[in-house]
Structure 1
Amino acid sequence: MPILSVITPVYQPEPEHLMAAYESLKDQEIPSGWEWEWMLQEDGSSGVAKEILPEDERIRFGQGRKGGVAITRNLALSAAKGQLVKNLDQDDILTSGVLARDIQAIDGNDGVRWTTSRVLDLLPDGSLVGFDNDPEHGRLRTGVVVEHWRAHNFRLPVHPTTMCIERKLAVALGGWMAVPGSDDTGLLTAASVVADGFFESEVGLHYRKWPGQETAMARHTEAVEWNARMHLISERAEFLAQAVAVANR
């Protein structure tokens, strides 16, 4: 039976946020014959997530020494049983039906090996804010995403935290990229130069904006580090694209 593995790295979670993520996942309806599992991998070994969440046989808890978010995601990836893997951060909320749409986008479109969805920011007052520049619904041809990213000061046309990807492809690309922040951008850009993707125009995620999130910290946009990781992500994508071009000759 095919499985979709939802991967969530956990570190000092806000109980209310983690429960909201679980509530958004537990009632997802997916195509007949499919199952989902929730890979909750703690960056450390406090066991805090298990204390917060109710018992659910679909949840698989993991622990390890502290190594940062990318390593934590990759440890979950190593244990995931799914043919597809999807990221869900501990403070975000899935919309109804998104797992089914992810499965359909990849399973129902020949050559599509990863997919993303439209996002709404969830603000502290509970309001939702969208974006004006989402791409058109449908296939994202190989190379299009990274070309846009480079041309727009390293701003992606789709949100990397919504990505669902074939597990085999994610593993072949090294999983989430080992950089301090932007690890999901590293995986998305790499995938985008070796395989077609898909953009689902129906909202798939409410992306929580709050003071405690990593991307709200000043260190996330500190210029020297930001430039270094953008350069490395861009280089990897370039060399992967060159390798694919050589292989296709």
Structure 2
Amino acid sequence: MNAVTRRTIDVITAVHEPAAPYLADAYKSLVAQELPDGWDWHWIIQEDGKGDTVAPFVPDDPRVTFGQGRPGGPGVARMMAMAHAGGDYVKVLDADDQLTPGALARDLALLEADATLGWTTSRVLDLLPDGSTAGFDQDPADGPIERGAVFDHWKAHNFRAQVHPATLFVRRDLLLALGGWMALPASEDTGLLLALNVVSRGYFTREYGLLYRKWPGQATAQSTHTDEAEREARMAVVEARTQALVRFPCHIAAKSYHC
């Protein structure tokens, strides 16, 4: 009797030492996910650096792969993690965040049902240090996101997208065709989101898909993240790349969810 072929969602997590203790909560949220028959998740954790302090926090689970490498930021770590990814889909899960119940199954169902969609995002709840949560009252409507909509909003609202790149669920081949996360010290995930938006349709789910932890050690809480000169340079590169893809979207690939 032939073994049943199982399909995989690769969950990609970049981690550095300060965030390592939060891996336990991320793992609990992943184990709690229920997927359709024939599907599994594969959690790929890539340390941004090499040392002995992160590994002890990595769960002992055959579905978990742990890698290390020279430091280069979260985008580089995620791209190195992709060396171990072989599934049809990629889900982003930052080391200090948690998936909500049912998030993976919802994302999967959307892309499995509609070949014209390349990616999904969902609503986010901020997870505050005292354990309480806070929502965002300006999320878009539930439904498809047409090409260019996120990019247009980002340009019109001081380089802030209306959907959160930390909730991204994407077709693996599309992510790779676009070169993955940008080689930037920050905003690398926004750069990928905008690139995806101008070459393929997406979908926004108004059900909460992520608990986004707010804590003093997170990268976006550091002064370097808001340095105006660096931010201006980052935004210029992100916009230039996205504009180039607007001009040449059909050169990316010929599948139905492009062009």
Ranges in structure 2 where 5+ consecutive residues have no aligned partner = 1-5, 253-257
Matched letter for residue 88 of structure 2:
Q
Deviation of 1:245 after TM superposition, in Å, equals 6.4
- Counterpart for residue 17 of structure 2: 12
**Paired residues, what number?**
249
Displacement after TM superposition at 1:47 (Å):
4.5
The runs of 5 or more residues in structure 1 that have no matched partner are none
Tell me which residue corresponds to 1:184: 189
1:87 to 62, 80, 92: 92
Q: Cα gap change, 1:29/1:246 in structure 2, threshold over 3 Å: closer, same or farther?
A: closer
1:194 and 1:32 map into 2 onto residues whose CA distance is 31
Q: Displacement, 1:81?
A: 1.4
TM-score (norm 2): 0.92
For 2:31, the equivalent position in structure 1 comes to 26
SS in 1 for 2:176: helix
Asked if 1 retains the 8 angstrom alpha-carbon contact of 2:19 and 2:217, the reply is no
Trace 1:96-175 onto structure 2 (pairs within 5 A). 96-175=101-180
TM-score if structure 1 supplies the norm length?
Answer: 0.96
| SS of corresponding position for 1:193 | helix
Equivalent residue, structure 2, for 1:227 = 232
What is the Cα deviation at residue 14 of structure 1?
A: 4.0
Deviations 1:47-100 (A, max 9, x none): 433312331110011111122211111000122111111111110111011000
Question: Contact 2:125/2:135 (CA < 8 Å) preserved in 1?
Answer: yes
Kindly tell me: are residues 238 and 92 of structure 1, through their superposed partners in 2, closer, same or farther at Cα, counting changes over 3 Å?
A: same
Whether the 8 Å contact between 2:7 and 2:39 is mirrored in structure 1 is yes
Which whole-Å deviations, capped at 9, do the CAs of 1:149-189 have from their partners, x for residues lacking one? 11111110100110011111111111111111111001000
Shift of 1:18: 1.3
Shift of 1:32: 1.4
CA drift of 1:244 comes to 2.1
Distance in 2, Cα, partners of 1:48 & 1:68 = 17
Residues 15 and 168 of structure 1: CA distance in aligned 2, closer, same or farther (over 3 Å): closer
Paired with 2:84 and 2:206, the residues of 1 have a C-alpha distance of: 31
C-alpha distance in structure 2 between counterparts of 1:218 and 1:66, whole Å:
20
SS in 2 for 1:38: strand
Secondary structure in 1 matching 2:204: strand
Cα RMSD (Å) of the superposition? 1.6
Offset, 1:246: 8.1
Over the matched positions of the two proteins, sequence identity in percent amounts to: 49
**Aligned equivalent of 1:69:** 74
